[in-house]
Amino acid sequence: MMGPVPSLKHQLTGRLRDIRVVIGAIVSVLVITISPAAGASLPDHRFSLEFETGAVWQSRNQIHIPDSSAGTRFALTDIQGNGPDAQRRVELTWNMAHRHSVRFVYAPLAFSGTGAFDMPVRFAGGSFTPGTAVDSEYKFNSYRLSYRYLLHESDRWRWRIGATAFIRDARVELRQQGVVASDSNVGFVPLLSTSLEYDVAPHWTALLDFDGLVSTQGRAIDAAAKIRYDLSDTWYLTAGYRVFEGGVDNDRYAFGWYNFALASLGVRF
């Protein structure tokens, strides 16, 4: 049986503790410095909560851990397929003032499946033979805290810009005839953030939403194009398409490309 070494658990615990401290500090600073003063203009609705669901396809999911001769590059889609699988996502937005907002996103992502490799594969210290069934699990959950500023507003257009603190919680596991190998990774990445809204007609709004950044060690891109229909001043529906793409390339190599057909229900309060 093979898996993560015990010290990795201590490293992950330390990273999660540091991340919680960073997020707490960000929220505290935002509350102190951006909360509106007495008499300042406040939005009609301070909060909005949106529940998203739909289908997700994985177009690409390549793994090479470790990213050296001790590992083998393989495609998880070869043993899991491309989908579709059910997806879900939750967004909570706090409109602190007319031009200032904070958004929290919880976006879990998981695939599993059984297949066989057509070549010997070495992964995270385990060796897997070709032609024999391999059970696989893949997880990439993300937690995001964004600040956005309303840069432009007209009768129909609204453009917001800002930044996102992106935390990934990723895990890959392979199992074959008593051999188990897994790799877990928790990391923090700062992203640029922006959104664009256009009122197409009464009750109808076109939306573009983007979080992303590219660096020498990897990238993360989450972009969505949606249409929103306001059922009332409080409730609304959206539908559209989302692409989520990115990964890391350092001591481990892991890149994925995921396509989402989405629908959501939202409430303002």
Residues of the chain with pLDDT under 50: 1-9, 11-12, 22, 25, 29-40
Residue 54: give its domain's CATH number. Answer: 2.40.128.90
Kindly give the pairing relationship between strand 179-201 and strand 85-95.
Answer: unpaired
What is the count of structural domains for the chain? 1
Closest CA to 223 of 207, 244, 239, 251: 244
Residue 182 lies in a domain: yes
Predicted pLDDT of residue 20 = 57
Neighbours of 95 (CB within 10 A): 20
Range of the domain at 128: 6-35+44-268
Which H/E stretch holds residue 26?
helix 6-34
In this prediction, residue 215 carries a pLDDT of 87
For residue 74, the model assigns a pLDDT of 96
The answer to whether residue 146 sits within a structural domain is yes
Specify whether the CB–CB gap between 226 and 209 falls below 8 A: yes
Which is nearest to 114 in space by CA: 80, 73, 76, 75?
A: 80
Pairing of strands 74-75, 47-64: antiparallel
On whether residue 201 sits in a domain, the answer given is: yes
| Domain-embedded: residue 1 | no
How far, in Å, CA of 98 to CA of 44, rounded?
9
Please give the model's pTM, rounded to 2 decimal places.
0.81
What whole-number distance in Å separates Cα of residue 187 and Cα of residue 249? 13
Nearest to 226 by CA among 196, 255, 252: 196
d(CA 157, CA 199): 7
**Does 229 map to a domain?**
yes
Q: Please give the C-alpha separations between residue 33 and each of 27, 29, 97, 247, in angstroms, as whole numbers.
A: 10, 6, 12, 34
Please report whether residue 75 resides in a domain.
yes
Residue 88 CA, chain-centre distance (Å), reads 11
The DSSP secondary-structure symbol of 41 reads -
Half-sphere CA count of 269, side-chain side, radius 13 A:
5
Q: What is the pLDDT of residue 18?
A: 52
Question: Tokens at residue 85, please?
Answer: 């699988």
User: CA-to-CA distance for 209 and 50, rounded, in angstroms?
Assistant: 14
Q: CA-CA distance, 155 to 73, in Å (whole number)?
A: 52
